[in-house]
Structure 1
């Protein structure tokens, strides 16, 4: 069966109603004939809450225990998403990082992928599972400890799974309906881009555009994973959102694709100073 990876961010799974909405989108892809790997973030605000609990308990915390606590947010979402999919008649199972397993380095709080073996999930697909709901943002070190990938790690998890499983596409569902030429909340002339090249998206992400995490774009470019940015809150079709792809898929590229900005910089000019 063709395979699709779908990732839902924290705002897309912020409560049970939104988890139900996301599950309905997954169900439509299953009806189209796809096996689906769903990557989920923690429910909106939960990761900050968990971090606060750790820091409130132990200001000089053990990074290994920090990861064990903070990774639990994604585990809750994965279980709830799998339950919701089962309720609408879709065979689904939740997967934590150690169950796949998602093998990573031992850099707690900033781990990087080593490998994602396919055998366990492929076997369940062969047995009739249609959707694997994987907790994003987490993995397993070679010492057998839970690790986390750093903020935005669920985007990177989704791209890594798309690369490892040879997915047709990786759809990133978020609270915006695509990549814009600049922030539409600041500039009312901002336009949504239908397609953008990996290199251009990487530049925008590294310079402040928050629609995609920088590491996820780097990984997508390395393994040529086609990304699509979509809104969780709108009906979508094959023409929705923004496709992030190789330059060869873009007929005519623009000199300037977009403008990123930063609110965290100041300019100081010194006068009457000799060269």
Structure 2
């Protein structure tokens, strides 16, 4: 069977009614002949609540235990989604990151995906399972500890699964019906784009657009995963939402696709930097190891 990946964000699974609505969409794709991998986020607000518990318990918390706590929200959603599908007579089961296993680096709270073996889930598809409901945002480190991928990590999980399993498409269900030229809550002239190139979406995501996580777009571009951004609250046609695809698939592309803004950037100036080989590596190496994203570098003539 062809495989389809469907990802449901926190607002799409915020209540049991919304989980049932999402499950009906999954059931329709199963009826259309797909084996489906569903990636779920925690129910809306749940991750913030869990983070608050950790911070209230310990100001200097162990990052490994932080991941153990905050990853539990996705486990709850995955189990509830699998139960709902089973009630609809759709053969489904839930998978936590370590059961797949989704193997990551050891950088807790900002881990990166290393490998997704397909054997376990494909074996279950072969036995008659139609839907694998996978807890997004989480994996397992080489040391055997639960890891998380950082905020928005469920998007990255979904694209990574689509790449690993050679999925026909990866549908991202969220609370908006696609990618807009700018934030429609701020500008009433914003309009929805039917298609946008990976490169343009990557720029918008890195500059503050919240529709997709930056790492998920990078992965999609690298592995040529066709992404579709859809609303989980509206009935969909085959052409609904926004398709994120190769530039050659976008006909008559505009010079400017959209405008984004970011409210959480910092400017840092380093003075008296020695002019000798290896200085740049000494500065940017530790930043990269700490997971700090440097967006723009301006270098002046040293005095």
Partner Cα separation in structure 2 for residue 141 and residue 17 of structure 1: 34
Q: Secondary structure at the match of 2:190?
A: coil
Q: Secondary structure at the match of 1:256?
A: coil
Q: What's the counterpart of residue 224 of structure 1?
A: 224
Q: What's the counterpart of residue 49 of structure 2?
A: 49
CA deviations 1:92-123 (Å, max 9, x no partner) are: 00000000000000000000011000000000
Q: Secondary structure at the match of 1:74?
A: helix
Q: What's the counterpart of residue 31 of structure 2?
A: 31
Q: What's the counterpart of residue 124 of structure 1?
A: 124
Q: TM-score of the superposition, structure 1-length normalised?
A: 0.95
Q: What's the counterpart of residue 245 of structure 1?
A: 245
- Point out where structure 1 has 5 or more consecutive residues left out of the alignment: 267-275
Matched, 1:162 2:154: no
In 2 relative to 1, CA 265–158 (structure 1 residues): closer, same or farther, beyond 3 Å? closer
Question: How many residue pairs are counted as aligned between the two chains?
Answer: 266
Q: What's the counterpart of residue 171 of structure 2?
A: 171
CA displacement at 1:160 relative to structure 2: 0.2
In 2 relative to 1, CA 59–263 (structure 1 residues): closer, same or farther, beyond 3 Å? closer
Partner Cα separation in structure 2 for residue 184 and residue 44 of structure 1: 21
Q: What's the counterpart of residue 71 of structure 2?
A: 71
Q: Secondary structure at the match of 2:196?
A: strand
Partner Cα separation in structure 2 for residue 166 and residue 265 of structure 1: 36
Q: Secondary structure at the match of 2:38?
A: strand
Matched, 1:15 2:15: yes
Does 1 or 2 have the higher relative contact order (CA < 8 Å, sep 6+)?
1
Partner Cα separation in structure 1 for residue 98 and residue 206 of structure 2: 30
- Point out where structure 2 has 5 or more consecutive residues left out of the alignment: 267-303
Q: What's the counterpart of residue 102 of structure 2?
A: 102
Q: What's the counterpart of residue 271 of structure 1?
A: none
CA deviations 1:24-49 (Å, max 9, x no partner) are: 11011111110000000000000011
Q: Secondary structure at the match of 1:170?
A: strand
CA deviations 1:201-235 (Å, max 9, x no partner) are: 00001111100000000010000000000000000
Matched, 1:90 2:112: no
Partner Cα separation in structure 2 for residue 151 and residue 264 of structure 1: 14
CA displacement at 1:265 relative to structure 2: 7.2
Q: Secondary structure at the match of 1:18?
A: helix
Partner Cα separation in structure 2 for residue 25 and residue 228 of structure 1: 15
Partner Cα separation in structure 1 for residue 232 and residue 179 of structure 2: 14
CA deviations 1:73-94 (Å, max 9, x no partner) are: 0000000000000001100000
Q: Secondary structure at the match of 2:178?
A: coil
Q: Secondary structure at the match of 1:11?
A: helix
Q: Secondary structure at the match of 1:44?
A: coil
Partner Cα separation in structure 1 for residue 94 and residue 88 of structure 2: 15
CA deviations 1:60-82 (Å, max 9, x no partner) are: 11111110011000000000000
CA displacement at 1:262 relative to structure 2: 3.0
